[in-house]
Structure 1
Amino acid sequence: MHMGTFREAVSVVRRGDVYEADLDPQWSVGGKLHGGYLLAVMGRAVCDGAGDGHPHPSVVSGVFAAAPVPGPAEIHVEPLRTGRSATQVRARLTQDGSVRVEALITLERLEEAGPWWSGLEPVDLPEERYCPRTPPVAPGGAFPVPLMEVVEQRLDPGRLGFLSGSPSRRGVIAGWHRLADGSDWDPLSLLVALDPVPSVGFDLDLPGWAPTIQMSAYIRRVPAPGPLRVRTQAADVTNGRLDETVYAWDGEDRLVGQATQLAAVRMPASTPAARSR
């Protein structure tokens, strides 16, 4: 399969009042298009219509009403407000006249400068060469993950017990991330990194597809060139719902993005009333 670039995969064309996109099947997990990728396509359309004053997405909050399929889609952009420091927009991704994803997106002009204050230390990882690259097949071979052909992900081997049937049940997965086309991360492609695969549910012995219900991402600054360090942690699993909090740091040890999402998971047939680490 030809590996296209991220820029090609999120390209859009304006046709009157809507943007047309061709959703790329390679940016998918188990036959379902990746949520961060879908938000990036919508972000591309929103950025195109915003002009030069506020070129970067800084806040993206998406609701996934139904799973889009690869192929043609329309993105409808509704400006809400343009101020001195930010622009707010609503975007809807539709197929066959039905809304599949809706997002509220804030645009700003982000900088590369470090934080005025930060209370987070970057996740500690072994060097990239000591972290195995995630193959385009899910752990256990349950379903294909074409996304791993376009995203080079190397997970911390110390957190991969779930591959051998011994998940830590701490609800933490971490690793290195690069775009396989060799391009550097930017505020738009960070949306892909902030929706990492596999779901942290694998480390809780809840393997399988975990469709995103809602995701909110904050893009903090323009990343430095090179790989990202990404850490995902869960806090609670209740009634078939799993939360995931994600942090991403660049090569300068700066927090470049963070996200929280709620995903659906399939619970075992019998589970204790409460389970903790």
Structure 2
Amino acid sequence: MTTRGDGAVGVTLDAQWSIGTRLHGGYLLAVLARAARESAGAGHPHVTAVTGSFIGPPDPGEAMVRVETLRIGKSVAQTRASLIQQGRTCVEAHVTLGLLSDSDPWWSAHEPVDIPPEHECFRVPVEPPGLGVQVPLMGVLEEHIHPGHMGFAFGEPAQNGVIATWQRLADGSDWDPVSLLVTLDPGPPIASELGLMGWFPTISLSAYIRRLPAPGPVRVRLSATDVGGDRMDQSVSVWDSKDRLVGQASHLTGVRLPAGR
């Protein structure tokens, strides 16, 4: 990132973080969150919440982020960040920052998702069979899918509306509050498990980072509650290697339903 004379931050959007030709939504929010973190100052070092609207897909390459400080308080900093490319706003987000700890929750009713060990799960390749497009994202992100949630890959989706995965960064880096935003926009989309095909664009995504994650892979549970009216919700929960909930998200996505549905 480079700060420009007009106060905007210049960024280079990396094509590795793509699904097909589209840059990954969690990655784009991470770009905005990183710029917002720089503007919030040392007293608010961690992103704690992001609500993003996806207006139009940016292309890999040069872009800029414009950050507006809305409020700097004692424990919370609130900002608005916009990703702009060739004069067009592509993503806009409200980013909240503060100071996270690695302490255990005082109380939690959210048990970690039940998933077999990582080595017993299916690793998603850069060229998933039957998809017809490359997923460069899988070169920088290692994702292993629960074998019981793989029916969609063989034309036999269970239609339970749940996909569980392990995720880790391919370069061996540990997760942090910014990179966790990638896990909170997981693939494959839950529509695949419901037997739906096509592109499912994210319209709005709200993410929450609860605490600093412990080193190691995270477990991710993606689920749907309701599909209809050309809209689908997706809920995401992420647990770290100490079985602690470290992130949550809610998505609203577009979906094309089969005729007659």
| TM-score above 0.5 | yes
Alignment of 1:99-138 (within 5 A): 99-138=89-128
Match of 2:56 in 1: 66
Q: How many aligned positions are there?
A: 260
Q: SS state of the match for residue 102, structure 1?
A: strand
Aligned to 1:192: 182
**CA 1:137–1:267: 2 relative to 1, 3 Å:** farther
Structure 2 CA distance, aligned partners of 1:19 and 1:53?
20
The verdict on how the C-alpha distance between 1:164 and 1:171 changes in structure 2, with shifts beyond 3 A counting, is same
- Structure 1 contact 211–264 (Cα < 8 Å) conserved: yes
CA distance in 1, matches of 2:222, 2:188: 10
> Which 5+ residue runs of structure 2 have no aligned equivalent?
none
Aligned to 2:154: 164
In the alignment, structure 1 segments of 5+ residues that lack a partner are 1-11, 272-277
Counterpart in the other structure of 2:4: 15
TM-score (norm 2): 0.98
| Secondary structure of 1:41's aligned partner | helix
* 1:39 lines up with 2:29 in the alignment: yes
Whether contact under 8 Å (2:39, 2:69) holds in the other structure is no
Measure, in 1, the Cα distance between the counterparts of 2:152 and 2:111: 26
Q: Measure the CA separation in 2 of the matches of 1:80 and 1:223.
A: 27
- Describe how 1:134-153 pairs up with structure 2 within 5 A: 134-138=124-128, 140-153=130-143
Task: Name the counterpart of 1:274.
Answer: none
Runs of 4 or more above 2 Å deviation:
none
Q: Which amino acid aligns with 1:147?
A: L
**Aligned AA (1:14):** T
% identical equivalent positions:
54
Per the alignment, residue 88 of structure 1 pairs with 78
Q: Deviation per CA, 1:79-124, whole angstroms, max 9, x where unpaired?
A: 0001111100000100111111000000011000010110110001
Query: Pairwise CA RMSD of aligned residues?
Result: 0.9
Tell me, in whole angstroms, the C-alpha distance in 2 between the residues paired with 1:69 and 1:242.
25
